[in-house]
Each structure stands twice: as structure tokens, then as C-alpha cells.
Copies of this chain bind each other. A is one copy, B any other.
Amino acid sequence: MCELLGMNCNVPTDICFSFTGFQARGGATDVHGDGWGIAFFEGRGVRVFLDPQPSSRSPVAELVRRYPIHSLNVIAHIRKATQGPVGLENTHPFMRELWGRYWIFAHNGNLDAYAPELDGSFLPVGQTDSERCFCHLLQTLRRRFPDAPPERLVLLRALEDFAAQARAHGPFNFLLSNGDCLFAHRSTELYYIIRQAPFAVAHLKDQDVAVDFSELTSAQDRVALIVTQPLTDNETWIPLPTERVVMFADGVYHAA
């Protein structure tokens, strides 16, 4: 299984600290050595860094760890290949454009015999069940809403409907963002935490690194982190509800 990491904030925040612990799991402290990727939204734009190499040995991961890109929505993924060979075209997260916004998707799980009918509007480039599912998801959204729905909650409910049919095929933990908010769905494992005032010291589980967020933040900051396995050993990570799509917007948790 793969590992997911997501961040949603109310002020542009860098993910260097969390990424340090996460990166170590790609081949160093854990077995997920089949590539990794991370996407940072900045306004409507998005930067995606992908590397089919293990993240613990990747020069691109080293850049990401050291270069503080400030973002409201981040999605990262470390891969342990199930369907589709190791290669760039099968490296998450995947990106497409819908309604004039970029969409970013990463999946942890395995969808068995998932062969949706695709009409050609979004087609997979690689061979993973995950990318096929992402294409199906966007096709489903566009058919239901020719234009972007004005309300985030309308989108959330449509995603709940989609997730209900997809998870019948197997474990379907995913993170999805259009740069405005971040959606998460847990089948098996997914935790979150919201860091806000009063901020404290956090200590990584995978490396002996700590950071005092009270020195780096202001009283209004809210940062939600969503991960497959808790990243720190001195904070309380909350399991997401199973088989529900939830939404993080401006660092706040929302359920339909």
C-alpha cells in the first residue's frame, strides 16, 4: 500500500517539516520505494514534482524538502506499486483540468476489476487503477455539472456518490484538490490533525526532528494535515470517518 499526505490551510504554508518525515518512508524507514510525487497549488496554478525513484534517494525530493514553497493545498504520495509497472506515467499524483481549474488526485488502495466506460473526455496515460478511476471521477463530475457547481458542498455530495460505487471494487483512500479545497476519503487508513493556536512543538516519528510552530505562525493560522499514518509522536491524530468523503477548506473540517 502507498502513503498519502495532504495539507489544506488558510494562509500559504510550507510543508517542509511534514515532508521531511514523509519522504523518509519512501525506501528508508518504510517499503514504499516505487516513486513519489507532490503537487503544490499556488493560486489557480499548480506545480507537480514527480520522481519514479524512491523519495529517500531522490534529488527532487531533496529540493522539495529544502525549498519552502508556500501553498494552501498540497497533495503528496509515495508509491508501492500494485497495478501498473514502476514508471513516471504511473507516478501519483495525477493532474487534469476540469471547468478551467487543475485537479490533483492521489490514491492509496487497489481497485479490482474497475473498468468504467470512458467516453474519451479524460483518458488514462498510464496503467494504474488509480488514474483510470480519476478519469472516471472527472467524467462523472462533468456529466453531472457542465459548469462548476457554485457551492463546495454540492461537489462534496457528488463525490460521496462517486466514492460509494468505486469503493465496491476495493480499498479507496484518496485525496483530491482543485486548489480551492481538499477532499479526502478513507476506506482503510487516513488520519488528520488541525494545527491552530495555541501552537506547540511537534516531533517527527520517522526522524529525530522537532519544530516549534508557535515561532513560525500567527494566531489566526489554521493548517489541516491528512496522512495515511500519523507523522508526529506527540500530537493527537484523528482517524477520518470510514467510507465518507470529507472536505477541508481554509484549514477547517467539513462533512456533508
Contact = CB atoms under 8 A, between A and B. Distances in A.
Interface string A146-168: 11000000000000000000000
A59 B67 contact: yes
Contacts of A1: none
A102 B52 CA distance: 17
A170 interface: no
Interface string A98-141: 01111000000000000000001111111000000000000000
Contacts of A47: 49-51, 88
B100 A45 contact: no
Interface stretch (A23-31, A75-83, A89-97, A242-250): A89-97
Given A42-B88, A43-B89, A122 B97 contact: yes
A43 B120 contact: no
A48 interface: yes
B121 A43 contact: no
Contacts of A67: 59-60
A102 to B, nearest CB: 6
A49 B46 CA distance: 10
B126 A44 contact: yes
Contact of A97 (B45, B46, B63, B125): B125
A86 to B, nearest CB: 11
B50 A59 contact: no
A98 to B, nearest CB: 8
B125 A101 contact: yes
A96 B123 CA distance: 11
Residue in A48, A89, A102 whose Cβ sees the most chain B Cβ within 10 Å = A89
Interface of A: 42-52, 59-60, 63, 66-67, 87-91, 95-97, 99-102, 120-126, 142, 146-147
- Per CB-CB distance, the 7 closest pairs between chain A and chain B, nearest first, are A45-B88, A45-B89, A100-B123, A44-B89, A42-B88, A63-B63, A59-B67
